[in-house]
Structure 1
Amino acid sequence: MRNSFAAREGARLLKTPSPRRRAGRRRLAAVCGVLALALASGLIGSLTAGGQDPRSPETGPFSYFPHQ
């Protein structure tokens, strides 16, 4: 009697990726997601930033420190 799991003619099953390859894909997806989020937030920030009036005082995290 033939084994039902024996390789026969027809479509072959694909090998499943190894755990190392799956971890690499997850890592790549996470890095691409972070880069896409950074790009989108930078684009939105540059589009929504209003024009700075040159006479307005400079404000920011280091504006309280004296500089020459």
Structure 2
Amino acid sequence: MILKSFKATSIWPRNAEVILQKYRPLTPVEQDSRESSTSVLSGKDWLKIETLVRNTVREEGSREV
């Protein structure tokens, strides 16, 4: 499908393989790696953590922090 899009628009990237690799199916090993590196925290969780840390730490710019 991606190759057909290149052909239809007559636009070809210098290295089409870089783009094509993003759309190829992942191998089981790659899938496991991606899943294990995914955060279990949501964006709201990260915001709550950041707020908690900022409220707890008095001098954000100090070396100890």
Q: Tell me which interval the TM-score lies in, with the shorter structure as reference length.
A: 0.3 to 0.5
* Structure with the larger helix share: 2
Instruction: With the length of structure 2 as denominator, give the TM-score of the two structures.
Output: 0.32
| Structure possessing the higher radius of gyration over alpha carbons | 1
Instruction: With the length of structure 1 as denominator, give the TM-score of the two structures.
Output: 0.31
Higher normalized contact order (CA 8 Å, seq sep 6+, divided by chain length): 2
